[in-house]
Structure 1
Amino acid sequence: MIYEMTIQFRVSDISKGQHWYETLLNKKPDFIPHDGFAEWELLPGCWLQIAEGIPSIGSGPLRLGIDNLEIERDRLINDLKIEPFDIYSREEVPVKWATFSDPWGNKVGLFEYHNQSEKEDRKKTIVGKQQ
């Protein structure tokens, strides 16, 4: 039985990497066990780790479900100075999505449910009642 998961991205500069991911996630790391490493619990039992080292270009994507893809895209382009990126959608897929890279070449993606009640049902299933 799988009960928890982590994904790790490598960054060449831990200070810059930590700042970049703090801005992306709108929060400080939940755990910094030692130099060269930072970790965020994105959902209960779901962790993103960054470690200082040689990046594996093209790792990912780590896709994050969000409430409003257009607003978040604009925030990231402004706050992180990333290149503008396209949003995609297909009729048979219940979400629209977008993918971009961090400064080390790791792929990060965002997605938003088309149907708001489906999104709210997913949130309740995953994290419980609205906080």
Structure 2
Amino acid sequence: MAVDLYAGIPVSDYPAALIWYQRLFGSPPTFIASDTEAVWELAEHRSVVLEHRPERAGNAVLTIFVDDFDTRLDRIADRGIEPSVRETYPNGVRHATYHDSEGNEISFGGAPR
């Protein structure tokens, strides 16, 4: 079964959020869909969209699992962003949560070491 994902992050201050998410993801968007939408393709057919939607701003909750958890968090820190929460679950899975200025919650998860 094929799976595609297009997960949205609603914001009220699109220009400021665009800068922050470029720092979080470490690159400019893969493409700009419109004047109010920027898209990062994280993997084939798996994208995150930043969208100017003030009425829904601050309510996103996303977790992205990655193979390079420690390296990714180090690179994000090098770009000046630290996680709000960093934890390891009893089963060894690691999890780091970042919050943008509007309260959206973007997390990265990683397998046990």
Q: What is the Cα deviation at residue 77 of structure 1?
A: 5.2
TM-score (norm 1): 0.70
Identify if the C-alpha distance between structure 1 residues 80 and 13 changes in structure 2 by more than 3 Å, giving closer, same or farther. farther
* Structure 1 unpaired stretches of 5+: 116-131
Number of matched pairs: 111
TM-score (norm 2): 0.79
Question: Aligned residue for 2:58?
Answer: 57
Question: Aligned residue for 1:126?
Answer: none
Question: Aligned residue for 1:13?
Answer: 13
Identify if the C-alpha distance between structure 1 residues 81 and 30 changes in structure 2 by more than 3 Å, giving closer, same or farther. closer
Identify if the C-alpha distance between structure 1 residues 46 and 53 changes in structure 2 by more than 3 Å, giving closer, same or farther. same
Identify if the C-alpha distance between structure 1 residues 5 and 87 changes in structure 2 by more than 3 Å, giving closer, same or farther. same
Question: Match for 1:59: what amino acid?
Answer: A
Distance in 1 between the 2:111 and 2:76 partners?
19
Identify if the C-alpha distance between structure 1 residues 3 and 65 changes in structure 2 by more than 3 Å, giving closer, same or farther. closer
Question: Match for 2:85: what amino acid?
Answer: D
Report percent identity of matched pairs. 23
Partners of 2:37 and 2:52 within 8 A in 1 = yes
Partners of 1:18 and 1:50 within 8 A in 2 = yes
Question: Aligned residue for 1:88?
Answer: 87
Question: Match for 1:91: what amino acid?
Answer: P
Q: Considering only aligned residues, what root-mean-square deviation do their CA atoms show, in Å?
A: 2.4
* Structure 2 unpaired stretches of 5+: none
Q: Which has the higher strand share?
A: 2
Q: Which has the higher contact order (CA 8 A, sep 6+)?
A: 2
Q: Which has the higher helix share?
A: 1
